Structure formats: C-alpha cells, structure tokens
Amino acid sequence: MRGLAFLLCTAVFPVMAVAQDRAALILDLFADLALPQTGAGLIELSYGAPGDIRALAQGLSPDQAAFMASARTLPPSIAQTAAVAVQAGTRPTGIDLAAIERVATMTRGPEAAMVLDLSGGAMGSLASGLRAAGYAEDDRLGTIIWARGADDTRDPAARSDLFGGGIGRASRIRILGDRVQQASSWALIEAPQTAGMRGDLSALVAALDGDGMPPGTLAQAQFFLDLPEGAPIQAVAVADMVDGGQDVGLLVGITTSLSAADAMADAARLAWDTEPAGPAGESYQDLFGAQVIAESLRVDGAAMLVLQSAAEHVPNHPPWRNIHRERFLQILQSGAFWTLID
C-alpha cells in the first residue's frame, strides 16, 4: 500500500476539465433518492461522480484510478467501508468500486437512503454479494426488495455492508436496471417523496450550472436542508470541482432576498483577509490559501450567495483532497461561516 500511496500522492489531472451539465446528472439520481415523510431536523445529501473523476486520472492503473476516484467522490457514509474493502482487496457487498459511476445519499438522524448507478455488467455479482451480506428477497411491495435487518436496528456483523453506513444499519434494496435504490427502512423504500421534489434543493443544484460558475468536472457535492429556524440561510451546498490542475471549492446558500445575498457577499469580501476563522485565529485567507470570489445569484426564482475559492492542487496533499471544499465544510461546522457573512 505504501507504493500505491506514493503514486496517488503524485498523480495529477492533466486533462483540462470542461463545464458539465451538472444539474441534470444530479437531479437524475435525486429523482430516486428517498426523503423522510415525517419529522424534522437537518437533512444532509451527497452526490459523487467517481466515473467522471476516473476518466480524468492519468498515469494510474485502473485499480489505482478507482481507489483515487472513490476516495475523492464517495460520500462519508460509504467512503470508509470502501477504503477498507480496497485495502483488503475485496468487493463490498459484491460491488466493484470501479463500476460505480454516480452515487447519491441522504441522511437525517438514523434515517438514510442511497442511489447507485453502476456501469454495464456490474449487476452480475450483486445478488450473490447481497446474499453473502445477509439479505433476503421480499416481494411485499409487488416487486423484489432485498432486505437485511429489522427497521431501526444495527448489526455489528454487517459493518462491511456498503449499504449499512459503516454501522450495519438495516437496509432495503430495489434494483432498477443498472441503478440500485436503497433505504434504511420499509417506510423510506416505499416513500412517495424523493429529493428531486424539493424546490430548494433543485434550485441549489441548478445553481451549479448558473452564470459565473467555474468550468470543471464536479467530483462531489453536499447539500444541507432545513437548517435551524432563524438562520439567515436555510439551505446550503458545498461542491468540489476539478479544473485541470486546479481544485475549486464552492459554497452556495439560499438567502431571503437578492439584497441580503449582496450584503453577505460584501461582508465576506471584507472579512476574508482580516477576521479570524481557524482554531489558531488565522484569517479565512490563511485557512484557505486563496482569495474568495463572493457574489449574488438568482436561480429558479431563488436568491443565493455564492462563495468560490480555487488554487493549484497542493503538491504534498493526495489528489483525493480538495482543501477548499474541506475548509468550506469546516467553517460551516464551526460556525465561522455565519461570522463571515454577518
């Protein structure tokens, strides 16, 4: 693994990435991604495109490219399970990581759902992988559903199941051609509401193709919905893009009005070089290692704040790390984001 790590740390994306029709690809998956029907709380969604990143990798073997692309694009709920499988040379739940083209996930508390698009032929080993992971077929919904565990339970013995969130969470799976639709409960797998039906989420996704957005290949994006009541932004997206040798990080938030977005953009530009952001009191400029582009945008009737940070990939960082995306998530989680735009 040491030789592989060296190769991956020195790998680059020399092919110049071009702008995608990003929104259509994401919304296609979100159309089958279940959302909770009742209750409240923060909803976290992720989208990753390992197939697109594998296509950019140069100078790596197929296995190395699959490892690197998976590490950069897979959502946190499955990334660790995938990494353990790669190190062990196994296929988690019968799935070849090199066959995953796109993935979307949803979590809210203990509730979770996932959609995987696999390349042609990859479904051949899925049934045997599901059986080996403890799944059984159930036709209660008028179609075959693969099920493991009772609702709201965890099985430590199933931690290696790619669909168990690394904790052996109960799982139900429906196969739709080359697409795998999964949910953690019967209520979710039957849910009539999907992520594609949320207007705020659709607007955030559409913003990734909006005016002024950078070119590049989208590696992954996280979406946070139903933020605490009273927050000046109620829905946020953080995206990771590859543009040749540059890493690009984006933060997009839906605001109450375009004037509010303008004021937040002005505040961010003023505070970037001077206000403390990191644990040691460093500025946002020091934390990100780049200047910020702060703008307002209107997409599908929604007013938005857009923050963009980009720079050449840091040479001593492995290619699956995008510092700009990581820092945007860091300031969101620490609360420094709200200081930045105030």
User: 3-state SS of the chain?
Assistant: CHHHHHHHHHCCCCCCCCCCCHHHHHHHHHCCCECCCCCCCCEEEEEECHHHHHHHCCCCCHHHHHHHHHHHHCCHHHHHHHHHHHHHCCCHHHCCHHHEEEEEEEEECCEEEEEEEECCCHHHHHHHHHHHCCCEEECCCCCCEEEECCCCCECHHHCCCHHHCCCCECEEEEEECCEEEEECCHHHHCCCCEHHHCHHHHHHHHHCCCCCCCCCEEEEEEEEECCCCCCCCCEEEEEEEEECCEEEEEEEEECCCHHHHHHHHHHHHHHCCCCECCCCCCEHHHHHCCCCEEEEEEECCEEEEEEEEEEECCCCCCCCCCHHHHHHHHHHHHCHHHHHCC
- Give the pLDDT confidence score for residue 2 in this predicted structure: 34
The two tokens of residue 238 are 């953080």
DSSP β-ladder status, 100-108 and 136-138: unpaired
- Give the pLDDT confidence score for residue 20 in this predicted structure: 56
Exposed (0-12), middle (13-18) or buried (19+): which is 114, by Cβ within 10 Å? buried
- Give the pLDDT confidence score for residue 117 in this predicted structure: 95
Residue showing tokens 């961010």? 268
| pTM of the entire predicted model | 0.91
Question: Side-chain half-sphere of 186: how many Cα atoms within 13 Å?
Answer: 9
Nearest to 145 by CA among 185, 94, 89, 96: 185
- Give the pLDDT confidence score for residue 241 in this predicted structure: 93
Residues present in the chain in total: 342
Give every CB contact of residue 222 below 8 A, 6+ residues apart in sequence. 44, 45, 46, 75, 237, 238, 239, 329
Q: What is the pLDDT of residues 9-50, one digit of tens each?
A: 444 444 444 445 889 999 999 999 999 887 789 999 999 999
Nearest to 34 by CA among 147, 152, 113: 113
Q: Write the CA distances from 261 to 15, 236, 304, 306, integer angstroms.
A: 35, 13, 6, 8
Can you list the residues of the chain whose pLDDT is less than 50? 1-19
What percentage of the chain reaches a pLDDT higher than 90?
Answer: 54
